[in-house]
Structures are given as structure tokens and as C-alpha cells.
Structure 1
Amino acid sequence: MESESIDKESRISSFLEIAVGASGVTAIECLQATSWKLDEAILLFFAVNEADATAPPSYSALAENANSRPDQNLVTGGQDGGYEVCVPPHAKDLFYNDASTTDTSHDILASLYRPPFHVMFNGSFEKAKDAALAQDKWLLVNLQSTKEFSSLMLNRDTWGNEAVSQIISVNFIFWQEYDDTSEGRKVCSFYNMDSIPAVLVIDPITGQKICSWCGMINPQPLGEVFASYVYHCILVAN
């Protein structure tokens, strides 16, 4: 099971590198709809998102490989040497969220990777900093990328961890944003964050970055760091 999980994560990462603009959840949906066939999933992404009738040049090799299989039903020969992508109806349902055909497994999957709304601050970065200052808490910032699967893993494994969530809710104001939004770009630039996802602990009084991590951070070590950090601050305050 572990090797299968690693293989799927590798395909998700490859999908995000190729399908520019796709989110991690979209990558999972496309791969699930095509039985985790990377080439077909990429073609499906462009078809559902109303791409050109012919596959883009960089995907021509993938289209040819998919078209060469007898049991392949996504790609057929098109005019002028192009390819017409036939999208299965059930695959469209994943994107258009038809209530009458919503896949239960898709709902479960989406719930696994959704942002940690139960501990997130809803507002701008400046308002989050003001809230942290008013409540005498540290500001915890998570900058995410729709192109990095590790962002989804943080949501699922780290922020979804009960112990980590408890520490955050008691001691931090937690603010999460994507790096390609105006707010996200501003924070990335101010704190010189060039590797995403990133996690920062910020002093709300001075706005100074106290510490930071990049990439996927497993819940146990992060929880231990948070716990020891909070304990140290309590000792200093007393």
C-alpha cells in the first residue's frame, strides 16, 4: 500500500508540472477518472477545460502513446494530424459538480485535502496580524501553491492532525494563502520566500519572521517544535 501511495503522489506531482494552471485537487480528479494513467489524465484536463481541438505540441507524444492502445477511449485521430479528445461523461461530472452524479469517493477525497478551515483566520494578512496582537498570540502563516502536491499534504497530514490543530487554536492565529494571489505575492516578497509551500511564525508586534520551514513538514516534529516553542515563551514571560 505504501509503494502504491508513493507512486500516486509521484503521478500527481508530474501532472502538476505538465498541466500548467491545474490545482492539486484537479490533478487527483483527472487521474482518478483515467485510472491513474498520467498521459490520459493530462489530455482529459485540457479537454474538460476547453483546450484547442488539437493537443498542444508539448503533449503530442502523450497523445500518440494514448492513441496507440487498442482499449484507449479518450483520444481518436483528428483532422490535419491532430487529436480529438473524447471525454467520458462521468469524468465531466467530476469537474462540473453535477449534484445528481457526484461521486462519493470524490467528496471523501476533497474532504481529505481541503484547507483547515476550523483553525484558519478569515481575512487579510494585516487583519490576521492585528488579531494575533489583540489576542496576544503568535501569527502562523502557511503560504501554499496550487502546483505543489506538498501543499495538499500539509492540509491532509499536518494541519489535519488533531494535536497540531489543538496547539494552533490555543496559541496561534493561523493564516493560509496561495502564493499566486495578490496577498500571497505580497507576503512572499516581503519575507523573501522563494520556496513554496512555506510555514512562518511571525511576531505580530514587529512583523519579524521568528522562524520558517519550507516544503512538507510532518505533524509530529512540527507539533513538538510548536509545543516546545510555546513552553519556552511561557517561561520567559513568567
Structure 2
Amino acid sequence: MEEEAIAQFLALTGTRNAQYALDLLRAHQGDLESSLSSHFAILEAGSPPPLPETQDWIDADEEPLEDPRREQDPEFHRHGRHTSEDIESVPANLTTSREQFGLSNTLMPTSNRASLTSLFEPPPGLSCSLPFERASQQAANAEMWLLVNIQQAETFACHLLNRDIWGNATVGEVVRSSFVLWQRDENHPEALRYRSYYPFNAFPHVAILDPRTGERLYVLSSKVLSGKHTGIDVEAVLDSLTNFLERNDFVQRRAFRQEASPFRAENAEDRDMAWALAASEAELTAVDQLGSALDNHPLRHASRIASRLDPVLNAERSLIYQQDEEFRASLAMDRAKEESKKLEEARAAAEFERRRLDEESKLQKRLRKQDVLPWEPPAEHPDSTEIVVRLPGGSRISRRFSVDNPVGAIMDFVESQSELDEGSYDLLVPIPRTVFADRTQSLRSAGLGRKAALVVQERV
């Protein structure tokens, strides 16, 4: 086990000194993450600790792990420690990011950091970038399960999951054929919302959901995903996914969890039969909501089936199912109210815009009428006539015109001072009632002398 941890430490840090790796691993009780954190902290401080001058730590029947520089560099051999060049030249094949452990990158070249980021990112195109609800809809339409992965940047196993599991060709083929992978960081708003609905305690979190109902059917064991010392076991993850697919058909779901219609045991004989059935299914991986390490143990299967036969637990499950349905109905009502509110606001905005355009159109019309009005002669001009017009609302307007101007000039004046449109009213003299219908008739020929009073009457 120590040899595997040492090999992984050397591969991840790029250092060549196996004794240095073993010292750090033993100082942290074999924990690879803590050892990596200490390594980067040592680099940050400016110098790694001195190494022992002997190799007493190597078992007598093992070959010593030599560093090639011991023969090439006398100073290295004499001191048995890293030189300043070793500290300053961070290796180019460094494969983990120091930000993952909360450390500074001031000593790490930018090109190396970029290679680390790409190494620990999920394969492009494997993860769905849509919001949770749209990803669920996409999975439901494709008749595929929704595979949820919540990551934590500070947990090294999360980065190993991207590199060793999602980056594995076989796993990728299984995921693409039967799942829609939805991955988010723990601090993403949608991840926080997911965790409030589906609580969990360990990272990385990998669960399988039915996209049609939102029911969480399966949670991969935290032991399988821990990645301690030797990384995450690809075979264990593949077994978990394939066993789930064998036991659950999307169209006609054959899942152990049937909380909507719980099965009740009528007597002890039925309970004993359930235990016997569970023992015969020991090779299948059971649904483990708590991420237990006992996924494949027959007693674990038996315990779950027995719990399904417990009337008290079934009553509680039925209550939870009912509460979930009520909550979903409440969410649907809230969404409907929100959509109705948005629709009403859109209608109000459209009506406001229509009125604004209407007012602007009327203003432009009045301005055009003012532009075509003839010259206004002074009062003492021999051809001047003063026209007073009473509008439908009772207000009066007046202006001087030349007796040679047409009646249409008075109409243009009326339309420039009111909201009346051409053809919607009659211009007339009340007594005797005379309607001026010809816009081209001159004021002189119409009998309008030095001063005249006219009335505007809207047409019905």
C-alpha cells in the first residue's frame, strides 16, 4: 500500500525523491491529500525539509528507490536534500492544482497550472450544462436517468473523479448511453438548491435520479468515491452503474424503492421469505441512500427489504411522499402565479407603449398642420380677417387670415390646436347655419369678412 501511495505522490508532485514522499506520507498517517498539502506548503515556505542520509526505512527485501541525481550531483548526494534549484524549478508534469488545497500559486508556472486544470476537468461534452430542470426534461425526453455529481474544490477525490472516472472511456460510454450527467460545484446556486432537496454529507456526491418524478433512486457509496491512497476504483464505479441499470428499466421501472405503494408484511413467514430472497441477491448492489460501505453485503440487502415490510416505516414513507407531492404542487402554483404576473406586466408595458406611440403620432400630426399654415397678416392689413373658432369642448381659438386664404387653412389651424382629425368634424356658421365643406373655397367667396365666428361640430 505504501509503495502505491509513494508512486502516486511522485506522479502528482513531479518530485523524484521517494524517501521525501514516504516521510510526508507517514507523517500524515498515509493520507495522500494531507501529504500533498504539506508538500505545497513546504514549497511556499521556500525550502523542503532535509532528508535522512540513510535508507533505513526501506525493507531489507526491497530494492532501494534511487534518485538519478545522487550519482550526477555530488552536492545532492552529500547533503541528502533538495537544492535551491529543485525548489525553484517546479516540474512541468505537475498534475494537481495548488488552489485545490487553498495554497498560493506564486511558485507555480502559469503553463503548469493550465495543464493541471485541463487534466482534472471533466471530458468535454460529457456533462450537461443546462439548468437542473431543463437537464431533467432532456433526460426524460431521451428516456435516460439523470446522473448528478456535486463537487467540492477542496476535496482531492473530486478531481480524481473527473480524471479517473468521467475521463475513463468505458465509464464515458456507459454514461452517454444511459445517463445525462449534470455536474456542479457545491457553491453553485443550483447545487445549493439541489442539496436542500436531497441532503448528503460527503464529497464527491454522485446520485441517480428519475427525471420524471425527481425521486433519488441511488447514491454511490462514499467509500467507492473516497479515492484514499490509491485513487477511485473504476471497476467499483462501473459495477455500481451497471448493477443499477440491470435492476432498473426506465420505461417499466423495476426499482426496489416503491414508496408510493409500500408493501406490507402480513406475518413472520413473509418476513422470513424476504430475508431469504435478499440473501439470494447478494451479488447485486443495493440502493444505498446513506452511501454505506456495505453495498454488496447480503445482510445489507436483507435490512433494506425488512425495512420495507415495516408498517411504521411504510406509513412514514407514504407521509413523506404525500408531503413531496404537495410541495411540488405548491411550486407549480407559485410558478403559475409568477408567469401570470409576468404576462400582466407585459400587457401593461405594451399598452403603455401603444399610448406613447399614439401621443407621439398626434403630436407629429399637429406639428405638420402648423407647418402648412399660411402667413398671418397684421390686424391693420386691408385683407386681414380675424377668425374665432369654438371647439367641441367649449374652448375657443382665434387667428388672423387673409381673405384670399382657402377655408382649408382654417381647418388646418383647428387640427393643429386640437386632437380632431380631418373629416371627423364640420366647420360651420350657426346662424344662419352654413357648413363649409369645400376646403378650397376662399374666405372672401365664403362671405367671411373682417371678423367671423365659427363652430366646430363633431360628426356622429
Trace 1:115-194 onto structure 2 (pairs within 5 A).
115-194=122-201
Higher RCO (CA 8 Å, separation ≥ 6 residues) = 1
Corresponding residue of 2:42: 39
Identify the match of residue 207 of structure 2 among 191, 200, 206.
200
- Provide the rounded CA distance (Å) in 1 between the counterparts of 2:4 and 2:180: 34
Residue type matched to 1:38 in 2? A
Corresponding residue of 2:233: 218
Contact 2:145/2:250, CA 8 A, preserved across alignment:
no
> Post-superposition shift, 1:70?
9.6
> Post-superposition shift, 1:186?
1.1
Residue type matched to 1:114 in 2? E
Cα-to-partner distance string for 1:130-174 (whole Å, 9 max, x where unaligned): 111111110000000011000001011111111111000010000
Residue type matched to 2:42 in 1? D
Contact 1:188/1:194, CA 8 A, preserved across alignment:
no
Task: Assess, with a 3 A threshold, how the Cα gap between structure 1 residues 170 and 143 changes in structure 2: closer, same or farther.
Answer: same
- Provide the rounded CA distance (Å) in 1 between the counterparts of 2:136 and 2:105: 47
Identify the match of residue 13 of structure 1 among 12, 15, 33.
33
Contact 1:15/1:42, CA 8 A, preserved across alignment:
no
- Provide the rounded CA distance (Å) in 1 between the counterparts of 2:208 and 2:197: 14
- Provide the rounded CA distance (Å) in 1 between the counterparts of 2:118 and 2:200: 28
TM-score, length basis structure 2:
0.33
3-state SS, counterpart of residue 248 of structure 2: helix
Contact 1:114/1:155, CA 8 A, preserved across alignment:
yes
Residue type matched to 1:180 in 2? N
TM-score, length basis structure 1:
0.61
Residue type matched to 2:183 in 1? Q
Cα-to-partner distance string for 1:86-139 (whole Å, 9 max, x where unaligned): x998x3642xxxxxxx34xx5543332112333110111111111111111100
- Provide the rounded CA distance (Å) in 2 between the counterparts of 1:42 and 1:117: 36
- Provide the rounded CA distance (Å) in 2 between the counterparts of 1:88 and 1:197: 24
Task: Assess, with a 3 A threshold, how the Cα gap between structure 1 residues 149 and 205 changes in structure 2: closer, same or farther.
Answer: same
User: Which of 146-155 and 225-234 deviates more?
Assistant: 225-234
- Provide the rounded CA distance (Å) in 2 between the counterparts of 1:226 and 1:142: 13
Contact 1:157/1:219, CA 8 A, preserved across alignment:
yes
Task: Assess, with a 3 A threshold, how the Cα gap between structure 1 residues 42 and 207 changes in structure 2: closer, same or farther.
Answer: farther
Identify the match of residue 231 of structure 1 among 246, 254, 258.
246
Contact 2:146/2:182, CA 8 A, preserved across alignment:
yes
- Provide the rounded CA distance (Å) in 2 between the counterparts of 1:153 and 1:132: 26
Question: By percentage of residues, which structure has more helix?
Answer: 1
> Post-superposition shift, 1:208?
0.7
* 1:2 maps to 2:4: yes
> Post-superposition shift, 1:194?
2.2
Contact 1:15/1:38, CA 8 A, preserved across alignment:
no
Task: Assess, with a 3 A threshold, how the Cα gap between structure 1 residues 225 and 70 changes in structure 2: closer, same or farther.
Answer: closer
> Post-superposition shift, 1:234?
4.2
Corresponding residue of 1:84: none
Contact 2:5/2:32, CA 8 A, preserved across alignment:
no
> Post-superposition shift, 1:193?
1.4
Contact 2:33/2:156, CA 8 A, preserved across alignment:
yes
Residue type matched to 1:219 in 2? V
3-state SS, counterpart of residue 173 of structure 1: strand
3-state SS, counterpart of residue 164 of structure 2: helix
Contact 1:203/1:209, CA 8 A, preserved across alignment:
yes
Task: Assess, with a 3 A threshold, how the Cα gap between structure 1 residues 127 and 236 changes in structure 2: closer, same or farther.
Answer: closer
> Post-superposition shift, 1:205?
1.1
> Post-superposition shift, 1:235?
9.6
Show structure 1 runs of 5+ residues with no match. 17-26, 44-68, 75-86, 95-101
Percentage of matched positions with identical amino acids:
24
Task: Assess, with a 3 A threshold, how the Cα gap between structure 1 residues 40 and 172 changes in structure 2: closer, same or farther.
Answer: same
- Provide the rounded CA distance (Å) in 1 between the counterparts of 2:233 and 2:251: 27
